A and B are shown apart, each in its own frame.
Chain A
Amino acid sequence: MSTQPAGFKSWLFTTDHKKIGVMYLVTSLVFFVVGLLLALIMRTEQLDLTKKVIIDADLFNTAFTIHGAAMVLFWMIPVLLGFLANYMIPLMIGAHDVAFPRLNALSFWLYVGAGLIAVCALILPGRLDTGWTGYPPYSIVGPANTAFYVFAVHLLGASSIAGAVNFITTIITLRAPGMTWGRLNLTVWGLFGAFIIQIVGVPVLAAAVTLLLFDKYLGTSFYDGTKGGSPILYEHLFWFYAHPAVYVVALPVFGVVSDIISTFSRKKVYGYTSMAIAIMIITVVGFETWVHHLYVAGTLNWTRVVFMWGTIAIGVPTGIKTFNWLATLHKGSIELTTPMLHALGFISLFTIGGVTGIANGLLGFDIQVHDTHWVVAHFHYVLAISMSMLCMGAIYYWFPKFTGKMYNESLGKTAFWITLIGAMIAFLPQFHLGYDGIPRRYWKLPAKYGPEMKVAVIFSYITIVGFLMTLYNFVHSAIKGKKAPANPWNSLSLEWQIPSPPPFYNFENIPTITDGPYEYGKPADNTVKAH
């Protein structure tokens, strides 16, 4: 057994998946706070719809650009595919480390580099104001320094591709003896699907922004409709990755929800096989949806119809997952710990986002609400707040494992309820604006929506306070928390069978797996067929 090196350098030069995981967590949480502060600023600006409150239109545009990029690209994807995958996959499949530890470290540092460029885009002159989508021609003829955007995407893309190669290899080749595909945690299944999407999609995005760079700085005309190109080409290439990117976030989240619900219901995940199949279906069908972002972009009418069916078809595997979660709760032995509350809160928010997302997918419906506040409300329910909340739940759930300390349960529950109440109401008024067809990304909205926006602003503040309390809980508990036992939840999953925090090489000897992670209360006799 090697011993664990100590000190500052041991973090800087580490190739240990656990340390890299923790560094991903800390960095992504920093970006989460940046995103929250930008949300705070934008919401404050919406307090008065008739005049400037604190920022002008240009700063508002920069705020929503960086808010979107920070939240999706630098918080949600890294916390799941960086922290969670790094820390949990080797522990869950029974491996000493990932397949390529040094490549893993490179992934992390590329992510940090991309993050620094994103910060530059926020504070240096030529602030990025194009929206996180960076549509040409505005990103080409507009005042923004689009190079920030392109290079951030390049570095982050390289990081993502390296990560995807690494983890797909790890999951396929480093599973412990007896760890069959049918015994993997659903978290691992979700991450597996997410990494497949990354490896297929990210190169396309990288190509798209590279052409943008050429158009802006070298005078090419890939996206110039007056010189033989087409701005719509960019939209296709961008959304080919950027829509599946929401499944990159969603699939691991689905997996984590299954893990948490199973642990705290002390009951096997209902319909394990259909859960795994649903994940893989979303992975594939997710690539047949992107044109719904171009429903009103002059796309051929029949193309829109084709992609409508692809888009709303996603509702079916998602529905399967939701009902299986409910069936897992049925006849369980449910304990409402903080992580469990987050998982259940996620389902309640996600369902609002889900049904309103079907509305966006429905072609005839969408034309009225396309690019309106309806869409903003929808993706905050389905993705932004619900999944950020679930990420908090995931951090709570594995907090004893990776810190070796217990978090503060009562503060955790209080913060949860504050976040949930805020999140439930904060975006409801915007469905009304969307129904009226009021476009998003407006610095100033029509003044008659003042009262609605005040409600939205106040409850957004409440949500933000809830999240900040959760973050305080993490920091405080990591320093001053009580020492955690190896397996505080009595979980059967492999990562809980080793000490907290795990030793340097995870497992003294690679274990031989004889059963799945969810076999709670399995009858001792062999009358029940095991996986």
Chain B
Amino acid sequence: MLKQVVRLLMAALFVSIPYAAAAAERLPDPVKAWNNHFKTWAVVSIVVYLVVTVPLIYFVFKYKRRKKDENGAYIEGNTALEILWTIVPMIIIIMLGVQSWAVFNDLRDVPKDHIEVKAVGFMYGFEMYSPEGIMTLNELRVPVGNIKVNLSSKDVIHDFALPAFRTREDMVPGENTYLWFSAKEPGEYPVYCAEFCGSGHSSMLAKVIVMKKEDYEAWVKSKQAASSTTAALTPDVKGKELVEKLGCLGCHGIAGETKAGPALNGLIGKSEELEDGKKVVIDEAFVMEKIADPKAKPVKGFSHIMPPNALAKEDYEAIAAYLKTIK
């Protein structure tokens, strides 16, 4: 019996070595590598499930109790068999582990020819920065190629999950993390926050827009041209841009809806009750104070999770001017 087991194990090992070696070979495409890994796992898992459940059901029928005081056979165990079902799972697990390690290396080792962009998570949205320094909210525009995304967060832990490219990584305040992906096909790919971050967690969505190289360059040019004219903008138009750029709209609606924070339209002139019971009428000064230090003068009925901002004086005024224009 033991001899047979050993022979079987040798055969299994012989079959598995080249397989493991092939799995360890680097596949250039992480998405393809992951899909292959999934298939291997699925086949192994289905086999394991059948190996457990088929005998289970068979034994229950085959060895049904016939007589009332009947005993089962007296068997203490079988060392060879027990070694067999220790070694075989071990081999399976080593094979899967080696393959997974290879996939992991593909997913984490950034190729040398890559473009670096930046994404910053906040409650509730993503600020994306192109290599040229153009900031966009909740959409990351990149040209076709290998993209490394440097990640960080402004407030709590978020996650930049990019399922289309089989990758994700947490965005941790005070720390820098990264992920990379190979953008091959132009198109839009959804981004999710995958680390629980509060009320707005399930609406913290964004997208990666992969563009043809020439389209991307045209987009960069148009953005740069637009920003050079910003200086000449009127305060309320500048305020609108700031509100969009700073990510205020993650928590504040502009169509009367209450999200994590109050709606911004009609805010100025509204009267609210503070947590200490005082009533205030919201004016420009109050808004400017709250943007700089959101925890001061807490308004009743909201959680005070907005991060503080340090803006230039004219930026505060611009935002206040903008808020006055939306009713």
Query: Does A129 lie within 8 Å of B72, measured CB to CB?
Result: no
Task: State whether the Cβ of A296 lies closer than 8 Å to any Cβ in chain B.
Answer: yes
Task: State whether the Cβ of B102 lies closer than 8 Å to any Cβ in chain A.
Answer: yes
Query: Does A131 lie within 8 Å of B49, measured CB to CB?
Result: no
A57 in contact with B174 given A344-B56, A348-B56 (CB within 8 Å): no
CB of B161 to closest CB in A, whole Å: 6
In angstroms, Cα B157 to Cα A439, docked, is: 14
**In the complex, which of the residues A274, A332, A344, A490 has the most CB atoms of chain B within 10 Å of its own CB atom?**
A332
* In the complex, chain A residues whose CB is within 8 Å of the CB of B37: 362, 364-365
In angstroms, Cα B195 to Cα A232, docked, is: 13
Query: Does A355 lie within 8 Å of B34, measured CB to CB?
Result: no
- Chain A proximity mask over B258-287: 1 for CB below 8 Å, otherwise 0: 000000000000000000000000000000
Task: State whether the Cβ of B120 lies closer than 8 Å to any Cβ in chain A.
Answer: no
Task: State whether the Cβ of B104 lies closer than 8 Å to any Cβ in chain A.
Answer: yes
Task: State whether the Cβ of A444 lies closer than 8 Å to any Cβ in chain B.
Answer: yes
- Which of B44, B52, B82, B201 contacts A320, CB < 8 Å? B82
Query: Does B173 lie within 8 Å of A362, measured CB to CB?
Result: no
- Per the CB 8 Å criterion, the residue count for chain B at the interface is 82
* In the complex, chain B residues whose CB is within 8 Å of the CB of A296: 159, 168-170, 194
A410-455, CB < 8 A from B: 435-446
In angstroms, Cα B102 to Cα A441, docked, is: 30
- Which of A312, A335, A443, A528 contacts B76, CB < 8 Å? A528
- Which of A131, A231, A344, A446 contacts B60, CB < 8 Å? A344
- Chain B proximity mask over A51-75: 1 for CB below 8 Å, otherwise 0: 0000001100100000000000000
A231 in contact with B172 given A265-B72, A315-B93 (CB within 8 Å): yes
Task: State whether the Cβ of B113 lies closer than 8 Å to any Cβ in chain A.
Answer: no
A444 in contact with B203 given A231-B157, A348-B56 (CB within 8 Å): yes
Binds B, one of A76-84, A135-143, A191-199, A471-479: A135-143
Query: Does A362 lie within 8 Å of B41, measured CB to CB?
Result: yes
- Which of A61, A315, A367 contacts B199, CB < 8 Å? A61
A336 in contact with B108 given A298-B172, A520-B71 (CB within 8 Å): no
CB of B50 to closest CB in A, whole Å: 10
Task: State whether the Cβ of A10 lies closer than 8 Å to any Cβ in chain B.
Answer: no
Query: Does A439 lie within 8 Å of B194, measured CB to CB?
Result: yes
Query: Does A372 lie within 8 Å of B194, measured CB to CB?
Result: yes
Task: State whether the Cβ of B305 lies closer than 8 Å to any Cβ in chain A.
Answer: yes
Binds B, one of A111-119, A246-254, A300-308, A396-404: A300-308
B30-84, CB < 8 A from A: 33-34, 37-38, 41, 44-45, 48-49, 52-53, 55-56, 59-60, 63-66, 69-78, 81-82
List 25 contacting pairs A-B, 8 Å CB cutoff, sorted by A. Answer: A58-B199, A61-B201, A230-B174, A232-B172, A267-B72, A267-B75, A274-B82, A298-B175, A308-B101, A316-B89, A326-B52, A326-B55, A327-B78, A330-B59, A331-B73, A333-B63, A347-B56, A355-B48, A355-B49, A362-B100, A364-B100, A368-B168, A437-B161, A437-B162, A521-B72
Give the 7 A-B CB pairs with smallest separation, nearest first.
A225-B174, A437-B163, A364-B103, A267-B72, A521-B71, A143-B303, A332-B72
Where the two chains meet, the residues of A that have a C-beta atom closer than 8 Å to any C-beta of B are 57-58, 61, 129-131, 135-138, 141-143, 224-226, 229-232, 265-268, 270-274, 296-298, 301, 304-305, 308-309, 312-313, 315-316, 319-320, 322-324, 326-327, 329-336, 344, 347-348, 351-352, 354-356, 358-359, 362-365, 367-368, 370-372, 435-446, 490, 519-523, 528-529
Where the two chains meet, the residues of B that have a C-beta atom closer than 8 Å to any C-beta of A are 33-34, 37-38, 41, 44-45, 48-49, 52-53, 55-56, 59-60, 63-66, 69-78, 81-82, 85-86, 89-90, 93, 96-97, 99-104, 106-108, 155-157, 159, 161-164, 166-170, 172-177, 190, 192-203, 303-305
In the complex, given contacts A268-B74, A363-B100, A437-B163, what are 6 additional A-B residue pairs having Cβ atoms less than 8 angstroms apart?
A: A315-B89, A320-B85, A327-B81, A368-B167, A521-B71, A521-B74
